[in-house]
Amino acid sequence: MLANLAASLFEHKRITTTVTKAKRLRPYAERLITFAKRGDLASRRRVLASISDKGIVHELFTGIAPAVENREGGYTRITKIGNRKGDNAPMAVIELVLEPLSPKQAVVKEAEKAAQTAAPAPVAETESPESPESAESGESAESTESADIPETRTEDAEVTEDAAVEADEAAPEDDEKK
């Protein structure tokens, strides 16, 4: 069943099926596309073992694989489209993502990686200085500014907690008066 769905997906670039079948098809189709990206004879034979139509395999290796060459996965997209009329089964469209990876998406991915690597470093710097003398001499203006931000958030959280405690203390006093 998955081989037939994958063959239809590669032939038409987009198919409508149930959500369950689409979710089962996605890893199967993406694995076949990854083999096609390799482009060697062994990969072609491995894909031919699943999909017996040589024309579709040729299209996969010559049309689809070069279109997704710069992508590292995520070759398909599943979009839910509602329920089928007869049996109310949830339906979805699974389609190939053949658009080239835009420069904006590449920049966003690089920025996320940079943010992940840069985020732990300031936290470690702000926690390590324990004495005020070492904190003043070793920190630059930028790290001082980044250290002030978490302190402000902590103070806000303490103020909120203090207000909640005061409100809880005030409530029993009101009950005692009645």
User: In percent, how much of the chain has pLDDT > 90?
Assistant: 52
What gap in Å lies between CA 178 and CA 173, rounded to an integer? Answer: 9
pTM: 0.58
Query: CA angle at residue 75 from 79 to 3, to 5 degrees?
Result: 85
**pLDDT tens-digit readout, 84-111:** 999 999 999 999 998 877 767 667 777 7
**pLDDT tens-digit readout, 36-48:** 999 999 999 999 9
Q: Quick one: residue 27, left, alpha or beta (phi over 0 = left, psi -120 to 50 = alpha)?
A: alpha
